[in-house]
Structure 1
Amino acid sequence: MKLRHLVTGGAGFVGSHLIDKLMNAGGEVLCLDNYFTGRKENIQKWIGNPRFELIRHDVTEPIRLEVDRIWHLACPASPVHYQYNPIKTAKTSFLGTYNMLGLARRVGCRLLLASTSEVYGDPEIHPQPESYRGSVNTIGIRSCYDEGKRIAETLCFDYNRMHGTEIRVARIFNTYGPRMLENDGRVVSNFIVQALKEMPITIYGDGSQTRSFCYVSDLVSGLMLLMESNEKGPINLGNPNEITIKELSSIIKTHTNKEVRYEYRDLPNDDPLQRQPVITKAKELLDWNPVVGIDEGIKLTITDFEERMKIS
């Protein structure tokens, strides 16, 4: 039987890659997006396909549909976008998740929540296992997203306990790849755009803060394995290969083959100094392990940016 999938935020960076996989697997897909950060060109190739339907809708408003799986990805996920309207961001996480869980309960389907490593805040434990409860500033400029995702997880588990709603919760660590927005403020896209334009690469702090970067195809495979598993989660999905921001800039500088200089600025408030997932659960319970290395992934991402920016 073909499953009918609803992907909220489906025209976004991760959502559109997920839709590609679901469509190529022969499923029926409903893409729901309000185009705040999503782009229609990301899913353009599926428009007109009888197994694909595009719905312009904001998840903060209820919607009635008949589906077998809900992939709840809708939420601005980069600081530039989620801080643009922090109240809207919090509403998206709370009301959007509430509405999607209500739909899942009504039709008796399974829901996967795209949560985030940001629930760990600026961690006091390194690397971060799922058992770590986090160190989050509830009144900081990032809390609209961090706390929003924490309450979204809470809603999922309460719906599961109260109503038996089937849930899957993925804590997604830094993800990159083709279709990232040029102006999303994330470090990979910032560095690539700056390098390609031969602008100064902006380093916040001294560049010694660390991140772990997962290529988008690896993340999508992890999401699909989690959805069809018997595990509720939360489960970390990310690449445990930790590098400093300065090391990332050097990799991008090398693969763009551009002469660039560095510009140092103060570290933003509440910006985590370390971020690295413990993925033991994903390995043991899902048989998942990222396979795309940072060099290969950055090359593919740079090629995509060059094509979209018309830079050779």
Structure 2
Amino acid sequence: MHSILEEDLELIIKSDIAWENYRNKTILITGATGLIGSLLVKTFVRFNRISQGNVLIIAVVRNGEKAKRILGEELKEAEVKVYVGDITEDIYIEEDIDYIFHTASVTASKIMVENPVETIEVSYQGTNNILKLARQKSVKGMVYVSSMEAYGISNPELEFVEEKDLGYIDLANVRSSYSEGKRICECLCTAYMSEYQVPVTIARLAQTFGAGILETDNRVYAQFAKSVIDEKDIILHTDGLSEGNYCYTRDVIRGLLILGYLGESGQAYNVVNSESHMQIREMAQLVAEKVSDGKIKVIYDIPDNPLKYGYAPPVKMHLSSRKINALGWKAEVGLEEAYKRMIADMKEGIQ
């Protein structure tokens, strides 16, 4: 375990989470080999070790070998059980379940563009099956991990985008398989809450990165970080005017844990550091100037049609964290520190 990530996990355990809600409980986590899912598994394992939490963790994955690679240390623990299967098919779990964190989703833009049908199927059918399971097991709480992309293109005149301020999604763009998939899943969560009283809360995550990102991650923040490590210039393939909303991994995990027992059923909450908001080009400049200490620069190489490469449509949107702040959550790690911690963690993995 890398020291930066270990420090983050311990800080989560020592934070203001009401851990008694999870003590002696069974937690099911889908997408347990993804960034958010794997960090949730690791967090609960540390809770068991540090605070004798006695939590049974059921990690739902599609690929058992990948689980061994990403969760190798955690899988040695008796409190971790792995369920290997496809969530778009029927799921059978023998144990009672107290809480569910549904993080499974397609996250690679290339897949969204090349396999839009499968992207939608994973979203809708997978979420429907997990909600059925939540109903069957009479869970105490469920968190559906959605995305800020569910907003689409919001009204650019809004100073802050609140949870009610949904915008336009272009259904003729195949990449909308992801964003529209998130919307229908949120609607499905609300339907299960209304019709079957399933206590499900929706977490709309800002772009999340930090210690713990996977070696295979190739999203923009990972590319920027690798540019710093390799001392190579950052190359932007768009004009970079699109506005980004970000949150550090440790802060996101804390937010999800709070929503698990405190979030209002059927409600959506932005999980975002509202102060970490800037244009992509501004973030690239920050990384080049401050994180790399000026050792690299930003270069623009813009193709004729950026959308065909899977880049999200440009947006002007500043997400508000007011609603989740009212539950007692507040982001702690700013953008510059997030990059420095992530890069230090990545370097530990290289050594």
Alignment-derived partner of residue 42 in structure 2: 20
Alignment of 1:247 onto 2:282: yes
**Alignment map for 1:118-137 (pairs within 5 Å):** 118-125=149-156, 126=158, 127-137=160-170
Choose which of 202, 210, 216 in structure 1 pairs with 2:235. Answer: 202
Tell me what 1:79 maps to.
109
Q: Secondary structure at the match of 2:262?
A: coil
- Relative to structure 1, the CA distance from residue 23 to residue 290 in structure 2 (aligned partners, 3 Å threshold; closer, same or farther) is same
Counting matched residue pairs gives 309
2:33 aligned partner, one-letter code = A
The verdict on how the C-alpha distance between 1:76 and 1:287 changes in structure 2, with shifts beyond 3 A counting, is same
CA-CA distance at 1:44 after TM superposition: 1.6
1:193 aligned onto 2:234 = no
Code of the aligned partner of 2:77: N
CA separation of 1:275 and 1:202: change in aligned 2, threshold 3 A: farther
Which of 108, 127, 137 is 1:97 aligned to?
127
| CA distance in structure 2 between the partners assigned to 1:240 and 1:298 by the alignment | 16
CA separation of 1:138/1:32 partners in 2, compared to 1, >3 Å: closer, same or farther? same
Aligned mates of 1:247, 1:129 — CA distance in 2: 23
- Find the aligned partners of 2:298 and 2:202 in 1 and give their Cα distance: 41
Matched residue, 1:302? 343
- Unaligned runs of at least 5 residues, structure 2: 1-22, 48-52
Change (3 A) 1:124 1:40: farther
Pair 39,178 (structure 1): closer, same or farther in 2 beyond 3 Å? farther
Contact 2:101/2:143 (<8 A) preserved: yes
What is the CA distance between 1:218 and its match in structure 2?
A: 0.3
Correspondence list, 1:1-312, <5 A: 2-25=24-47, 26=53, 27-35=55-63, 40-65=68-93, 66=95, 67-109=97-139, 110-125=141-156, 126=158, 127-232=160-265, 233-241=267-275, 242-253=277-288, 254-257=290-293, 258-266=295-303, 268-269=306-307, 270-284=312-326, 286-310=327-351
Shift of 1:202: 2.2
| Residue 121 of structure 1, CA deviation | 0.9
Asked if the contact 2:201–2:260 (Cα under 8 Å) also holds between the matched residues in 1, the reply is yes
Q: Give 3-state SS (helix, strand or coil) of 1:77's partner.
A: coil
Name the CA distance, whole Å, in 1 between partners of 2:166 and 2:317.
14
Query: How far has the Cα of 1:178 moved from its partner?
Result: 2.4
Instruction: Check conservation: 1:61, 1:96, Cα contact below 8 A.
Output: yes
C-alpha change, 1:251 and 1:75, in structure 2 (3 Å) is: same
Q: Distance in 2 between matches of 1:166 and 1:42?
A: 30
Q: Percent identity?
A: 28
Whether the aligned pair in 2 keeps the contact of 1:123 and 1:274 (CA below 8 Å) is yes
Gaps of 5+ in 1: none
Tell me the alpha carbon deviations over residues 178-222 of structure 1, each in whole angstroms, 9 at most, x when there is no partner.
Answer: 232455442101112234334442213322322121000001101
- Distance between the aligned counterparts of 2:259 and 2:338, measured in 1? 23
SS in 2 for 1:168: strand
Q: Which amino acid aligns with 1:252?
A: V
Aligned letter for 1:187? V
The letter for the 2-side match of 1:56 is V
Cα distance in 1, alignment partners of residues 63 and 247 from structure 2: 24
Give the distance between the partners of 2:263 and 2:216, measured in 1 at CA. 38
Q: Encode CA deviations 1:92-131: one digit per residue, 9 max, x unaligned.
A: 1100000001101111113210011101112224432101
